[in-house]
Amino acid sequence: QVQLVESGGGLVQAGGSLRLSCAASGSIFSINVMGWYRQAPGKQRELVAHISRSGSTNYAASVKGRFTISRDNAKNTVYLQMNSLKPEDTAVYYCNAVVYPGSWGQGTQVTVSS
């Protein structure tokens, strides 16, 4: 089973940017759709962006136009570029397959101050 390690989170002011990375221990090429999820305190985990093996992307309405998901199958890595961050983006961010999620990693904390 592919193990996933998220990184790149941190504390940033509103309007700032962060780039998250998700490194897989094995090949993600066979995983058609990879996604970035987030979970804020007291809320359910939600899918914010996903990308297919061919590069087709889709975004939640709350992040569309501000976040960009990408993947590098050769490096077994998925990225999330987050711009124009808002306090409501504060959450722990995770990556995983979308159709059949495997084990969850530790996630990476993103905190946006107002």
CB 74 within 8 A of CB 58: no
| Whole-number Å distance between alpha carbons of 114 and 75 | 35
Report how many helices (DSSP H) and strands (DSSP E) the chain contains, helices first. Answer: 0, 10
Predicted local confidence at residue 112, as pLDDT: 98
CB 28 within 8 A of CB 2: yes
In terms of Cα–Cα distance, which of 105, 102, 94 is closest to 9? 94
> Which amino acid is it at 40?
A
pLDDT, block means (10 residues), the chain with 114 residues: 92 98 84 94 96 95 98 93 98 94 93 97
Predicted local confidence at residue 32, as pLDDT: 86
| Whole-number Å distance between alpha carbons of 97 and 67 | 18
Predicted local confidence at residue 26, as pLDDT: 78
Predicted local confidence at residue 83, as pLDDT: 98
